[in-house]
Amino acid sequence: MPNVSVKAKKVLNPLESFMGEDARVLNREISAINNFIETEWVEVSLSEDTIAEDEGKLYLFPIDDHKFCLQLCYLQYEDNSSSNAIICCLRFLPSFFDQYPAETLMANQPFRFDEVTEQQFVICSQTRMLLTQLEKNNTTASFIRSLQQSESSMHLLRKALDSITVPITDSQVPACRFLAYESERDKIQEARLIIEQNLDQPQTIRELSRKVAMNECYLKKGFKSLVGKTIHEYQQELRITKAKELLQVQGLSVTDVANTLGYSSISHFSTAFKRVTGMKPCELLT
């Protein structure tokens, strides 16, 4: 395990915020790839109201003058129907950046190396493949295997940097050129209709992409571009709007509403409802 200063350890832990307060850790393993890079694999169970799309985030922390830590976090669901997810945390320690001249790090970056940074990026099919290679190669500590892991880690870092080089607000149009085709726009609208017709059965990004025969990355970007919200945001908004109607107009109990909309428990429903409306469901009952 590489030596990391106490100060570095404090900033190398954005993983907890990435997982969220509601995540329940089922298993975690930490391993060192080399003296510069380490990985942490965490299996988590997420509550129903916090389940979102697969995602990746980059965290950068300046430790001292010309000393930096960079962490990549990836969340992927184990299957279409499970709330269990695997999080890969890939840490590039301060010694990693010592290999590069300061002027190289500071020049033409999508962020400043001397400021705390948090950037979201898309998990594409190539990133998934690299994560699979990394996960399969963490069983032994042979030199060749370490080289393979190092190569995968460097490739993942480059993919993440490439993904966030152009700000999201500036890249929406070129990233969604495929929406120029009516057939692709129809797939987005089909996904939207599936969500609207199945409020009692929340759809994952993987399920939707399979049902409309569209690449997950394209579906996420296209949906946000056409609808103005992420798939998770749109789905949550519709479910809570329907919940308000069932409570206020139809006079259903909180328990009945939770069951009708497919929430696994009243507590999950209440948490989701309050997060969106700022109120408890029972406050709408007359």
Q: Which of 176-180, 221-225, 267-271 has the lowest mean pLDDT?
A: 176-180
Is the confidence at residue 2, as pLDDT, over 50?
no
**pLDDT value, residue 154:** 94
Residues 31-45, mean pLDDT to the nearest whole number:
91
Instruction: Dump pLDDT digits (tens) for 106-147.
Output: 775 666 676 788 888 778 778 888 998 888 765 556 888 888
Q: Rounded distance, CA 153 to CA 261, Å?
A: 41
Mean pLDDT of 46-74: 78
Phi/psi-derived region of residue 42, left when phi > 0, alpha when psi is between -120 and 50, beta in every other case: beta
Output the pLDDT for position 70. 92
Return d(Cα 208, Cα 204) in angstroms, integer.
6
The 10s digit of each residue's pLDDT in 87-109 is 999 999 999 988 888 777 777 56
Tell me if the domain spanning 175-284 has CATH number 3.30.460.10.
no
Could you tell me the two tokens for 165? 């080089």
pLDDT of residue 82: 59
Mind listing the pLDDT tens digit for each residue in 149-190?
999 999 999 888 887 764 433 333 344 677 777 888 889 999
The residue ranges of every structural domain in the chain are 6-165, 175-284
Q: What average pLDDT score do residues 270-282 get?
A: 85
Q: Tokens 């493949």 map to which residue?
A: 129
Give dist(CA 191, CA 205) in Å, integer. Answer: 10
Q: Which residue has the tokens 């949550």?
A: 236
